[in-house]
Amino acid sequence: MKKWMQKWMGILLAVLLFTSVIPVNEIITQAAAAPSLSVTTKALTGIGSAFTLTIKNLDKTKVKSKVWYTTNKSIVTVDSKTGYVTSTGKGTAYIKCKITYKDGTILRPACKVTVQIKATAIDITNIPGDGTDYFVMTTGIPLILTVFLHLVIPVI
């Protein structure tokens, strides 16, 4: 009888040890991704260039308000409701969105916007000598350069 009891105790112990290793209804929790802008840096060329910023991973049920704004209106403007950005001048500015949550938390994701204006003309005012000398100008990229020399000769 003792051997029979020891055998069943060994089997019961083995079953208990085995079942403690098998995960049952394992709960996995993962934090939601923080809200971020669709673009964090943007380069625009020329006045009037535009694009729209959006916010990724925003839980709208927890948001009280959302307002877009710019750090420099002379470089870029932004529609406060839609995030539509338009260039207005040369330079660098930041577009930010003030997200206010119902619990009072405030988040301000930002996008750095750089606006460049293409050159339409180059004035060369320091022509060496009497205008018959030559000089070298390098740009790093191939280009065709047409030079018009306007010599002013005073009449005596």
Q: What percent of the chain has pLDDT over 70?
A: 67
- pLDDT interval class at 6 (50, 70, 90): confident
Q: What is the pTM of this model?
A: 0.61
Write down all domains in the chain, each with its CATH number in brackets. 38-116 (2.60.40.1080)
CA distance 36 to 38: 7
Give 19 or 51, the one with higher predicted confidence: 51
- pLDDT tens digits, 71-122: 999 999 999 999 999 999 999 999 999 999 999 999 999 999 999 998 777 7
The CA–CA distances, whole Å, from 116 to 43, 44, 135, 147 equal 8, 6, 28, 25
Residue 44's φ and ψ, nearest 5 degrees, are -115, 150
Give 155 or 84, the one with higher predicted confidence: 84
